[in-house]
Amino acid sequence: MRGSLLFLVVVIGISASLLAQTPAWPPASGHTTLPVWPHRAPGAQPSPGPELDTTTAKDHVVAGKPVIRLGNVSAPTLTLYAPQDKNTGAAVVVFPGGGYRIVAIDLEGTEVCDWLNSAGITCILLKYRVPDSGPYPKSSAALQDAQRALGIVRPTPPRGTSTRTVSVSSASPPGPTWLLPLALTSINVFTTRSMPPTSSAAARTLP
């Protein structure tokens, strides 16, 4: 109930430009979702089309199931997956792979979160901008979304977790091209940020 009320407050504050994009992948019910950027993402380029699942019948299946390959993502989001039973106090921000062309949102996203939840770990899933959003420095869009995600989660982590136990998980790519800049940003070594720090108001939206 509390998560539903927070989600309603967040939705009211989202700009019309974000609402204009209908997501091709809606999270399962019971998960709190919020926009990474309260307004337009920095340096946002015109979307080549609506967000969609680009998987076709010719694409290979994994464990007997097709993979959801999200394309044309222009409105990045964070979705909270909280453990239902034990809670270790640890949290992981998950960045699915996709080669900066698509986001493998289930195989390298929701399934990772479900596994982490089974181990008592809170998961925050990032749906970042694609296509052509990396690698950095060719494009900074995906890295901006990742830095922003950590800027939201680290200062005020979800209930039941600690700032000191927030980690990241990323499939490859974009894993290798993100992890070093993200690590250096977190310890203030990577001084040239690809986006402005998150505001304290934005950081208070995760339950």
Percent helix / strand / coil, the chain, rounded to 5: 30, 15, 55
Identify the pLDDT of residue 186: 52
Q: Label residue 12 by pLDDT band (50, 70, 90).
A: very low
Burial class (CB in 10 A: 0-12, 13-18, 19+), 173: middle
Residue bearing the bigger pLDDT, 196 or 11: 196
pLDDT tens digit sequence for 107-160? 999 999 999 999 999 999 999 999 988 887 788 898 889 888 888 888 878 888
Q: At what angle do helices 175-186 and 141-153 cross, to 10 degrees?
A: 40
Residues 6+ apart with CB under 8 A from 189: none
| H-state helical runs in 16-174 | 16-19, 111-118, 141-153
Residues 6+ apart with CB under 8 A from 109: 94, 96, 103, 125, 127
Residue of 51, 126, 124, 75 whose CA lies nearest to 96? 126
Residue 59 is encoded by which pair of tokens? 């694409």
Domain residue ranges of the chain, discontinuous segments joined by +? 2-204
Whether the CB-CB separation of 120 and 165 falls below 8 Å is answered with no
Residue 184 in this model has a pLDDT that exceeds 80: no
pLDDT tens digit sequence for 16-52? 344 445 778 888 888 999 999 988 888 888 888 999 9
Identify the pLDDT of residue 201: 39
Q: Label residue 189 by pLDDT band (50, 70, 90).
A: very low
Average pLDDT over the chain reads 78
pTM (2 d.p.): 0.78
Residue bearing the bigger pLDDT, 7 or 94: 94
CATH topology of domain 2-204: Rossmann fold (3.40.50)
Identify the pLDDT of residue 81: 96
Identify the pLDDT of residue 10: 42
Residue 193 in this model has a pLDDT that exceeds 70: no
